[in-house]
A = this chain, B = another copy of it.
Amino acid sequence: MAAPLAKEQILDTAEEVLRRFGLEKASVVDVARALGVSHGTLYRHFPSKSALREAVGERWLKRVSIPLAEIVKESGSSMEKLQKWFQTLIHTKRSKAIEDPELFSMYNALAEESVEGITAHINELIQQLTEIIEEGIRKNEFKRSDAGQVAAGIFYGTARFHHPALAKEWTSPNIDEEFRLVWNLLLSGLKF
C-alpha cells in the first residue's frame, strides 16, 4: 500500500469535505470515503470527530496570523506597520465574510470549538502588536507606556471591526467611517 496516512493529508481532505457538505452534514465517514480509507483509520490519527474539526479550525487561524507576522518584520515606520497590520486583519476577515458568509461562519464555528486554540491565536495577535508598539516607543513614535497593555487596548478597542461574532455588521455602508472614528480616538484621545 501507499505511504501511511499523513495528518496534513487528512486535514486537507477534511477541509474539502467540510466545504462541500457543510459543517453539519460532513461526517467522519464522508472524510474517510474521500480519502479512500475506512473510517476506523481516521480514529488512529485523531481521537474524535471534534479533535479533527478543531485541527481544521486551528489551521485556518494560522492562515490569518502568518501574513500578519510578516508585516511585523517589515521595515518602515511603526505607525505605518500598525496601520497596515490592522488594514490587513480587517480586510482579510471582511472580504471572506462578505464573499462567502457560509464558509466564513463555518470556519469560525470550527475555530470556536477549540477555546484553547482561540486564546492562543488572540495572544499571538496581541504579541505581534506588542512588538510593533515596543519598536514605536523605542523610536519615539509613540508615547512611553506598557506596550503589551496598549496592544491589548487597541486590539479590543477595534473588536467591532474584526471580531467574527460581529461580522454581520461589516456590510454597513458606514463601517469604514466608523473605524476611522475609533482609530482616531485610540491614537489621539478625547482629552487634551
Contacts and interface: CB of A to CB of B under 8 A. Distances in A.
Interface in A171-191: 178, 181-182, 184-191
Given A150-B181, A157-B160, A186-B189, 8 more contacts: A142-B191, A143-B192, A145-B190, A149-B181, A156-B181, A166-B166, A185-B189, A187-B191
Contacts of A150: 181, 185, 190
A13 to B, nearest CB: 32
A61 interface: no
A120 interface: no
A37 interface: no
Q: Which secondary structure dominates where chain A touches chain B?
A: helix
Nearest to A179: B156
Contacts of A160: 156-157, 159-160, 163
A71 interface: no
Contact of A190 (B154, B159, B165, B166): B154
A152 interface: yes
A185 B143 contact: no
Interface in A138-168: 142-143, 145, 149-150, 152-154, 156-160, 163, 165-166
A154 B160 CA distance: 12
A166 B80 CA distance: 30
A136 to B, nearest CB: 8
Contacts of A187: 189-191
A141 to B, nearest CB: 8
Nearest to A160: B159
